[in-house]
Chains A and B, each alone.
Chain A
Amino acid sequence: IAGITQAPTSQILAAGRRMTLRCTQDMRHNAMYWYRQDLGLGLRLIHYSNTAGTTGKGEVPDGYSVSRANTDDFPLTLASAVPSQTSVYFCASSEGSEDTEAFFGQGTRLTVV
């Protein structure tokens, strides 16, 4: 089934641990994004990639890193998790950065304790 897949679906993580959230899309979209969604706040952009091999910082990049080695995969890494990173994380993709529609993965619910 074509689309965008995130893993894991949910995770409880001890503070200080390293964690990588995986995101894979099979739509050959050039642009990919990582957002976090917190209660009462809008989606906030963490990092983005307009094309394979390039990445950029969003609104809330601190504590997170990304890589875009190929078109399909866009992993998000928390180097040393802190409780404030407890959130729901969404990966999204679009054909281009100026495209009108973004497709979202199902989200990863991360709890840092």
Chain B
Amino acid sequence: GQNIDQPTEMTATEGAIVQINCTYQTSGFNGLFWYQQHAGEAPTFLSYNVLDGLEEKGRFSSFLSRSKGYSYLLLKELQMKDSASYLCAVRDSNYQLIWGAGTKLIIKP
């Protein structure tokens, strides 16, 4: 079966750096996505990786290793507004998105 694994919850301190990991086993691979979802709100797009390596976008970076079935989202200079759930999703061979359950990130002052 298809599976996306990510930690359920993480805690970090304002101003620090946090890395959220995602491992996947899917039938085919056509890209990996990270979305941010604040409580009670809709998911919003953060990043997309289809080739191995690091994609940087401001304070957020996303890394992909296709051979290891592994990605991480790196958040730098954490702000209180970064408290949210972070969703990892993989697009499979049918171009359908398979979603992880999300990682709830708690930022403490």
Interface set of A (CB-CB < 8 Å, partner B): 35, 40-45, 48, 58-59, 90, 97-98, 100-107
Residue of A nearest to B101 (CB): A42
B1-58 interface (Cβ within 8 A of A):
4, 30-31, 33, 41-45, 48
B84-104 interface (Cβ within 8 A of A):
87, 89, 95-102
Which DSSP category, helix, strand, loop or mixed, fits chain A's interface? loop
Contact B96 A48 (CB under 8 A): yes
**List of A residues within 8 angstroms of B45 by Cβ:** 101-103
A interface footprint on B61-91 (CB within 8 Å = 1, 0 otherwise): 0000000000000000000000000010100
Give the size of the chain B interface in residues (CB under 8 angstroms).
Answer: 20
Residue of B nearest to A107 (CB): B42
Contact B99 A44 (CB under 8 A): yes
In angstroms, Cα B30 to Cα A35, docked, is: 20
Asked whether A45 and B43 contact (CB < 8 A) given A100-B31, A101-B48, the answer is no
Query: Given A45-B97, A101-B48, A107-B41, 8 other A-B contacts at CB below 8 A?
Result: A42-B89, A42-B99, A58-B96, A97-B95, A100-B33, A100-B48, A106-B41, A107-B42
Residue of A nearest to B91 (CB): A98
